[in-house]
Structure 1
């Protein structure tokens, strides 16, 4: 059994390959795949990505350190050429398949979102893009983002770009291993402290500086091996057998014991990081290391990059196409991902990686970079064309207009009231203030139409994803802590700066009271609950009455929405549109109804209520034709048919 191989790639650097570390890659990728497909089998399977970070830090920094020792600098051309030939061939094929398959099954807004991910992934800033757009990695919505998983590749590439330059700069100035080691240790420690201190865990998850310490742990071990001669062979085998078992145990414990409720990254992340370090340092001949050096583990480790790339888009598209995939369908998806990974590894990855000499070596790098730029341009083009709503495919022809029909702020203009930025209709006679979340913003098209008809203008002060009442203890569904927490204070400024005849309040009440997790100061999560919702809307009503006593307080009860992440417009299979549901029935325990009832009871006698359910759900059947997604109304439907909003304007014209 081959456990350690030395390959002389050039005269200045030696690249080491260890079968056990390759086997550790298998131990990293398998839990990730299980977590994505069957989370109950590996509730902490996401720690596999952290193991990959340690491995990458150890191996990549080893290459750089050996070059610094042997030649005093870093051979950037060779280093980046190898990274390009290693990473891009598989990634480019992935882009091609994801974009091509999305052509047939994605609605325009979804296709535009995938195109955005292609551009972000092509230039390796997907982590920043997700931080801005998607938010929580553990949220259900990520299942319908086929390239979401490339956030980790982006962080690694950012490391590949910056770390060699950092090492070269420090070495050029000092020529001192001690100073370089101090810089690396200092950066790793500061990154760990930042990770543990940052309260916004979505930011913590995607931001490279709060993730660097995981790579830094592997870098420190590599530095000690390369510069300080910290060889595992110096330690008795019995001791290394013990550390190997402990490291393996820490990794398995992390996979089995951690879960959605764990603050991650955080203190718990130290478990898989420490386990990976102990395993690597134990050496190729330690007990568990020998086990993971067996051919099946080594083979999975060799295809781990390919397997990581392909498993998630296949699972994601399965969840997009089919409403509720069965266990067998999920298992079949993983089998397809495995076979495809093997095929691409053997047929594409390895041949391209071997193109290192002569004209073919340079040409391969140039072609790969040109193709990458081409996909970046393709993603930009799809986005510029709004997700190609005119595609001649059944799903787009049947539902494309609905899928693209979001209200936005078209036709409105930004103004400042009391130093607070708000959006308003062009009419100067602004007598109505709309406040709330995206469920309030969705009424903008009707408000604009009524403003033109009645000459009664309106102002919209909304924060998507936030329950806009006093005292919300953090962000609701997105990283909007500051906006949510400051809403009541800013609302007071807006009310004091302009005299409104009516304040109209709406929101996804049932989501905040019965469904949505809220991040609070200690990083944990809980539900707001119906009691907080009731207290919050009372406090909001009191705030409006105190600042503007003559203003009428109007509540638009929330429109019907699906409690579960059902397929859009009742489609259970996007490849078979022959059996589309006409709508969904109103059930007494649905969250939107329970939220409305909570608000109605809390404000009984203190507000005017408007209920559009008679129009949206006649005879208890809510049509899918007015939905843009599971809980928002289409702009064209609101503009043309949301007549329940009309009384707000009619008595002011």
Structure 2
């Protein structure tokens, strides 16, 4: 069955894919972030898909009296798989040469999950958040939406056919109930687990069902009639979509109330736009229709191009982004002509030929992915680097994973370690509190007068009446603690804390700690060092030594530490770090808490070095400022050696 072609729908696709591309490119110009809400372009696609697929199914049922499932799934496979598989195959060599073992293993698993349309589930369990910086370095993350849609198409046709056969006039009511159930799940889940609500079908199905209900309404009426007010409605719909793309940003809860803007806007445009109204004419322009026709290829190509560019380049500049966007369009045009169109043509690719080639490619990709996973991404690719220094580990993601072992153990036991010490120290903060916990626990013999535990918390969440703050102050860890020790990376604005800053949260914590007679110790802002997103400064210097002469000489560690001293606080503006530290110092004066400076043990200013390498020559950081386990052990010894905790010890002695 064919549906009457509507160019304005291709125009909508163009608007959606351009918004998504510019959002992922992160275009900053003239003091603005362009298309900061471009992630909502995917929601436009969902509504269009629900509309077109439902209309196709219903027309076939009404005209033929039955629905051909085999033909439907073959058509979906011809539409989705050839380009998806092509993108994966082309990206493979780039993954091989740019991704370190852990990242390559994750890439292989994401590829395997994408082949079998489960990547939304995979990325939910392996990714912290869609908008997170690390997410931009996952080349196949965008395939989550394809898996989401295919999961919908595996179940929805059966439900639709059953409802048409047995419910008949009540079929729309069944769709409404399904949409209402999905909306309820979204509201419930988004409060407790926003990532689950984002990635999973039950909480997002209502968006496709919105398009399905529109299609059902049109089929029931027999024709799409445009009332005199249609121009106003279609224009309003287009404005809603454009507003969402331009005005919303990553601070917006999504899915949530804001998701209604692109969904309702898309429904209005599809329902009311025509050849004579403003929205219909704009969306039917030749340029937008052309972009809409290649929108699927554009969507598939853009994310791996951006991701590998960010991984490979020290700085993904505006010029780099424009080149990446241009390359995306070139590849999309070529793949639309030579892959998409031929595979949709049954004359050129019969059923056996098409299904056979897709099945063989799926087997090939699955075999490659399974092999990489089995080998854990190694294959001896970095043997030459490991031979330069004993115990050198180039894979920073592996080093990161190691740093959570002790923290996960204390989380399971939920008590202070060791338990029989008089002074109980609760370390509070984000991932940098994990680092400080590792510092002390890898040197437990040097700090026998203390027992340590950790409570993960963004300081901004200590704002008044927050649920997280209430849970913290009611926790057994807080009640038992003698000392609250803050170690975190301070930010001016935390999206999930209502836009409040960590400084505001620290002030709230200081007030409460003073009220509860707790000793508050605060480490100042995290000292940060330059890194390119995958390689630390240490790694870059070792790789350069390998390229220059194939050896790392005896003075390598000293050279690394000298360079770290020069590059400190280069991961963000030094002025921002200094200003925040001044504000922390002011709060220390106001609330009489103990302020300690991390740079005292991270650096030796008399020698003009910061310890990117330990005394044994090991890597001290796995990114801009988080400690490796070897780094944590080294910094613990430094803390003991220089008496960094002496101000705390003096305050404790006065209380005894």
Normalised by the shorter chain, which TM-score bucket?
0.7 to 0.9
Computed over aligned residues only, the root mean square deviation of the Cα atoms, in angstroms, reads 4.2
Kindly indicate whether the alpha-carbon contact (under 8 Å) linking 1:322 and 1:572 is maintained by their aligned counterparts in 2: no
Mapped partners of 1:270, 1:291: distance in 2: 23
Change (3 A) 1:424 1:106: farther
1:7-406 superposed matches below 5 A = 13-37=1-25, 38=27, 40-70=33-63, 73-172=66-165, 174=166, 176-192=167-183, 195=186, 198-199=190-191, 202-229=195-222, 231-232=223-224, 234-235=225-226, 240-282=230-272, 285-287=275-277, 288-289=279-280, 292-354=283-345, 357-371=350-364, 373-374=366-367, 377-378=370-371, 380-381=373-374, 385=376, 387-388=377-378, 390-392=380-382, 400-402=394-396, 404-406=398-400
Q: Which residue of 2 aligns with 1:549?
A: none
Mapped partners of 2:68, 2:494: distance in 1: 51
TM-score, with normalisation over the residues of structure 2? 0.77
Change (3 A) 1:615 1:394: farther
Mapped partners of 1:423, 1:104: distance in 2: 44
Kindly indicate whether the alpha-carbon contact (under 8 Å) linking 1:559 and 1:612 is maintained by their aligned counterparts in 2: yes
Matched, 1:616 2:611: no
Kindly indicate whether the alpha-carbon contact (under 8 Å) linking 1:251 and 1:275 is maintained by their aligned counterparts in 2: yes
The offset of 1:456, in angstroms, is 7.8
TM-score, with normalisation over the residues of structure 1? 0.78
The offset of 1:366, in angstroms, is 2.8
Mapped partners of 1:379, 1:458: distance in 2: 42
Kindly indicate whether the alpha-carbon contact (under 8 Å) linking 1:434 and 1:504 is maintained by their aligned counterparts in 2: yes
Mapped partners of 1:574, 1:339: distance in 2: 36
Name which of 536, 540, 553 aligns with 2:509.
536
Q: Which residue of 2 aligns with 1:435?
A: 427
Name which of 510, 515, 527 aligns with 1:560.
527
DSSP 3-state at the match of 2:459: coil
Kindly indicate whether the alpha-carbon contact (under 8 Å) linking 2:16 and 2:41 is maintained by their aligned counterparts in 1: yes
| Residues 170-208 of structure 1 deviation map (CA, whole Å, 9 limit, x = unaligned) | 345x2x332221111222234345546744655543343
Unaligned runs of 5+ in 2: 549-559, 614-619
Matched, 1:631 2:625: yes
The offset of 1:304, in angstroms, is 0.6
Mapped partners of 1:247, 1:428: distance in 2: 62
Kindly indicate whether the alpha-carbon contact (under 8 Å) linking 1:22 and 1:302 is maintained by their aligned counterparts in 2: yes
Unaligned runs of 5+ in 1: 1-12, 475-480, 520-524, 546-551
The offset of 1:301, in angstroms, is 1.6
Kindly indicate whether the alpha-carbon contact (under 8 Å) linking 2:527 and 2:568 is maintained by their aligned counterparts in 1: no
| Residues 332-385 of structure 1 deviation map (CA, whole Å, 9 limit, x = unaligned) | 111111111222222223333335635324423432443454365356436xx2
The offset of 1:85, in angstroms, is 2.5
Kindly indicate whether the alpha-carbon contact (under 8 Å) linking 2:3 and 2:56 is maintained by their aligned counterparts in 1: yes
Q: Which residue of 1 aligns with 2:496?
A: 518
| Residues 294-325 of structure 1 deviation map (CA, whole Å, 9 limit, x = unaligned) | 54433322211110111122122222222332
Q: Which residue of 1 aligns with 2:616?
A: none
Change (3 A) 1:161 1:380: farther
